[in-house]
Structure 1
Amino acid sequence: MINVALTVNERPVEAPAEPRTSLADFVRDKLDLTGTHLGCEHGVCGACTVLLDGVPARSCITYAVSCDGAEVTTIEGLDEDEITSELRAAFAREHALQCGYCTPGMLVSSRDLVLRLAHADEKLIRIGLSGNLCRCTGYVGIVRAVSSVIDQRRRRGVAPQHDGGRKTLGPAGSGRSQRAPVERSRRAQPMQVPRETAQLLIPDFTPGNHLEQHFEVAHPPERVFAALGDIAAVADCLPGVTLLAPPTPERVEGAIRVKIGPVAATFHGAARVERNSAEMSGRIVGIGTDERSRSSTKGEVRYHLVPLEGGKTRVDLSLGYSLTGILAQIGRPALVRDLASRLTADFASNLDRLLSGVPLSRESAAPADLNGLSLLWGVVRTALARWFAHPPKEDGGAR
């Protein structure tokens, strides 16, 4: 794995990637910027087009590691862009999209044409868009939309930029990084220790899967909230978790071992911690990688404490996650849901022991385990619950 440092949509980003990872997979899987679509994955259809240092580029055939130090703009980064806003309105007005799959790449390429072309020449527009394929529209509406934006801008006196905002020539990433050669050489080495994750930014993301959990403890919310602020104590309560560095109130580095049947994985990563004492709530956003399976995960845990009668507390949890790599093929929602239920139950038990002053057993360091029989029983239990909740109706027809 190699750490890749980019400026993506005007934000600095650094994350590990394999040398074979494409820029498209990097922005989609590492940064959750899924507006960049993958079509042919051969650089033909143009659905994956992004701006690389201001120049349209096929991200599916561009290696992420070759872009180290470059500026990347995806379709999400053009939300406030003036030209793109005009193009979106023109696309809607001229019926220039149907299924919309090609549209992000089409907009990026069209923006480049609006920047460069001196006037609305249909032939030049069609040539300029020949690398962006659409199976729905027949291109007539697209050409009309691009032509109208060019014509309107020139009428307003907006002059074309014949270089289209291009900064440099050469292959992606050639000489653009501001880092010193020695530092680039050091960073190009495969990661040997998980400490590298401490330098990673932990951006917000949109989870692909959501789970809701809750548990109760026989202690008041104030004590529970204080305990949840002790990162080291919380780590002791979670099965399979190990801290890799002294935590701070805002950040923690660690590893978690999980076992799903015969498959075991150890995710090394870091997390950002946020707390709101006024609302008795908090949020933890983390990223992690398992070197053995080359899998990556992003997770978000939101908790809220609800006071109950008798000095008890209910802890409401909202769990969100995204999983990529080999483990994503076996990490089905039912499996993860069962694993999350087990982790929550163990954490609740350990937290109650901690608040009661009872020493934790060393069993909490064992990896969280999930086996096939427990999953089967979970499926049967869910099916029975649904059956009893909604029993089949008797056939009221003639016999």
Structure 2
Amino acid sequence: MSMVNLTVNGRQLSADVEPRTNLADLLRETHNLTGTHIGCEHGVCGACTILVDGIPTRSCITFAVTCEKAEITTIEGLDEDEISAELRAAFQREHGLQCGYCTPGMIVSARDVVLRMEAPSEHEIRVAMSGNLCRCTGYVGIVRAVESVIADRRTRGIAAVPDGDRKRLGPAGSGNAGPTGVAAPVPSTARAVGSAVAQVARAANAARLDADWKPQASFRQSFTVSHPIDEVWAFFGRIEDVAACLPGASLAGPPQDGPDGSHVDGQIRVKVGPIAAEFQGVADVSRDDTTLSGTIIGSGRDRRSNSATRGLIRYALRPDESAAATHVDVDVGYTLTGMLAQFGRSGLVQDVANRLTAAFVRNLEARLAHGANGDAPAPAKAEELNALSLITAVVVARFKRLLAALSGRA
């Protein structure tokens, strides 16, 4: 038997344990902390996850004697924790639990994600939480809960803590075990190198995604604006004005200029009957003054419907023969996944796009006329995109064409 001294949920505890005793059994059998659940007992399912010196740890495969002088926090010790309280509310709101057996370990791991990841994507959250298994929910509600807590905290100005404020190298508990009990600090050079490597990896992943991505569908749009090409080209360079012409679109902040173009954060609101979606996304915009052409690469996601979209737009301007008007050719490629993908069939999307283009051109004409005539009233902000009314109009038009065709045959 060996004596082990621990700080468990803020209390000093000591116990005689066999060298083979794992931390989960010690907490459950000796201290009645049964919120730590045991599932696979192989460190696979994550149900037994607790915090050891602030680091999520599989307690079923961690020997208690290796955690001498360590600080242990179980799910019971997170009752008053701010992040955990927000996660519990989000799990309930987003239906992120059913039987609840995995939930204690899920909360502990999710807390670590919220604490240390600034703005993770859905994929990054799923990877970070992949060590916790759930046989009930399908993970959708869990991911939504984590996303909502992160978004809410960042909106309130609470930034992520780099590396979760971890200051030790090695397995959990190893910073305290041994005769000296002195923690080994992480060298600043190691942190700097790790940060640089992470930045390079993120850039490489983004570049690879752009290079490998293939749109599910594509189509071409063309329209004419009754203004000279110089005016239209200059207007297309004002991203805020262009966004104001798109129904439902708005920017989250001013565009950020870079060596290869501009980067913008924004959103577009779409209403499909009772479904109100708000795609939060980013876009990179580049323009070529010599060819009067541009490219927009963007992606967005709606958290509520779990729908995501990615698109590539290329446009080119050419003058009308009279030089008083401008022809605009637009090539669009897109991918739509999730609940709203049922509205993403290429024929339907192209018909809807025709109507959206008409609305965009009307708003564009109004804004260009306002710029040319200082006495003209300022055009109104483009309204929210109501996809259902557009789809209904498309269906009605197709039905009328079908009736006309049948009448012609008769």
Q: TM-score, normalised by structure 1?
A: 0.47
**For the pair shown, which has the larger CA radius of gyration, 1 or 2?**
2
Query: TM-score with structure 2 length normalisation?
Result: 0.45
Larger RCO of the pair (alpha carbons < 8 Å, separation 6+):
1
